[in-house]
Amino acid sequence: MKDFQVPTRPVWVEVFLADGRNLSGRMFLVEDPRVDENTDLLLRTLNDPREFIPFEVSDQRSARGLVLNKDHIVRVRLTADMEAARESPDVPDSGRVLDMAAAPAEETAILTLSDGSRISGQVAVQTPDSLSRPVDKLNNALRFLPVVHDDGVDIVQRCHVTTLD
């Protein structure tokens, strides 16, 4: 039966839900030999056509599995949970953040989300030069889009962006 198993990569994340809950744990992303960065794999998973994704909630006492409805995910933050990574040496860290050094400098946007949180950073969506404004990036993004800031990357569901400053 192992022939039918799909190889996955566990990635430590914090998930912010529309009902106000924050969940810390692991998402298991399907490996793709063409992609080595966890940010890209996470974006692919969140933007794929599946409506529900498995998630392992981790707390100090135990871990339990559940299924998340993507419609209710406001944002996902990659985390480098070193404590958990030390306990599971086979788990790679969160990987490097999108390579913004290779991208042209872009203006910082402030996104207010439906859960009341605010995120300040660069909306990292590739668009032609004629569509380089933050509003153009939002309008041309897939369902989930990366917002890069000094602390890392938040992957935001576009329909939960209420305002852009």
Asked whether residue 9 falls in the same domain as residue 61, the answer is yes
pLDDT the model gives residue 154: 96
pLDDT the model gives residue 7: 81
Query: Residue 68 forms beta bridges with which residues?
Result: 53
pLDDT the model gives residue 82: 33
- The DSSP output letter for 60 is S
What's the domain range around 160?
109-164
Question: Would residue 145 count as lying in a domain?
Answer: yes
Asked whether residue 78 falls in the same domain as residue 8, the answer is yes
- Alpha-carbon Rg for the chain in angstroms: 16
Pairing of strands 118-123, 8-17: unpaired
Measured CA to CA in angstroms, residue 32 lies from 6, 10, 36, 47, 104 at distances of 10, 13, 8, 15, 27
- The DSSP output letter for 4 is G
CATH number, residue 140: 2.30.30
Asked whether residue 118 falls in the same domain as residue 69, the answer is no
Out of 37, 54, 87, pick the residue that ends a domain. Answer: 87
Question: Would residue 98 count as lying in a domain?
Answer: no
CA angle, 6 as apex, 32 and 86 as ends, to 5°? 75
Per-residue pLDDT of the chain (165 residues; tens, 9 = 90+): 567 777 888 899 999 999 999 999 999 888 887 777 888 999 999 999 999 999 999 876 777 899 999 999 999 998 864 334 434 444 443 333 444 444 445 689 999 999 999 999 999 999 999 998 989 999 999 999 999 998 889 999 999 999 999
Number of domains present in the structure of the chain:
2
Question: Would residue 100 count as lying in a domain?
Answer: no
pLDDT the model gives residue 79: 80
pLDDT the model gives residue 33: 75
